[in-house]
Homo-oligomer: A and B are copies of this chain.
Amino acid sequence: MDAAERRLDGEEPHVRYATVRIDGVPRAAIEEGERLRLLDAGDVGELLRRGAADVAEIGEIATADAEYLAPVTTPGKVICLGLNYLAHLQEIYGEAEVPPYPALFAKYADTLTGPTADVPIPPEDVAATVDWEVELVVVVGREIHRASPDEARAAIAGYTVANDVSFRDWQNRTGQWLQGKAWDATTPLGPVVVTPDEADGEAGLAIRCEVNGVEKQSANTGDLFYGPSRALAYISTFTTLRPGDLVLTGTPGGVGMPTGERILLRDGDVVVSRIDGIGELRNTIKAEAH
């Protein structure tokens, strides 16, 4: 039985979903080894909203021929947790206590970009201190409101990888981080959404970030204060989560800011963000002309 049959039979799916561009058109797809089975949906978000059983297969291509996009291109909500690993909390604030509540902030659909896309940064007089933040992302598969952690766990469609590239000078202009976190096309997402049976972000997956081949961050998603189910349950207290919504769970220790460098990421730097069992993002920083 192949993955799609298992999926339709309601058994454990073990599926890796992607969104790829074919002849200029974005398509959801199922990745199986070196092949992609193309689906009649514009992205994984649409696939989740419509339900996989209602989406036809429309062809097949080799992964080598595909341009991978952000798996979800138009989420209704992107909600991010901050300060959710001990080592990161310590490097930023010197604190070693588990915070009683998760810090939450937003990004927009426009903030997202593809797993191999260049990440644009403006001239240094506009924003200089651009930092890396590899993160585990939870993709919501089912509508939940005031869910328990168990109900939230059952609503997780899968996991993917993001780098919450952060503009520290703008982030710290005021107490509210949004303006340092929502620069257009600066949060790479992907390369695939992997179902929880295939890669369990809750139990723990190795997570890493490298800049120009040098390891900067290395941790395990099992060390999150607010793991995926608790995070979704907490958020669902005040807002409904729906299929295709994204929850970025926070970054581990090893970001650039504590080094005090005025300039962190520069034109041409290559940032690799990896979670074992899911895959990696590989993005080049691209300075915009004045």
Contacts and interface: CB of A to CB of B under 8 A. Distances in A.
A184 B103 contact: no
A239 B101 contact: no
Interface of A: 76-77, 79, 82, 99-106, 108-111, 122, 126-127, 145, 167, 170, 173-179, 182-184, 235, 237-240
A106 B109 contact: no
A76 B173 contact: no
Contacts of A106: 105-106, 108, 178, 182
13 contacts: A76-B110, A79-B178, A82-B174, A105-B105, A110-B240, A122-B237, A179-B235, A179-B238, A182-B238, A183-B238, A183-B239, A184-B239, A184-B240
Contact of A239 (B174, B182, B239): B182
B179 A104 contact: yes
B101 A173 contact: yes
A184 B99 contact: no
A238 B167 contact: yes
A76 B82 CA distance: 23
Contacts of A177: 176
B237 A104 contact: no
A173 to B, nearest CB: 4
Contacts of A237: 122, 126
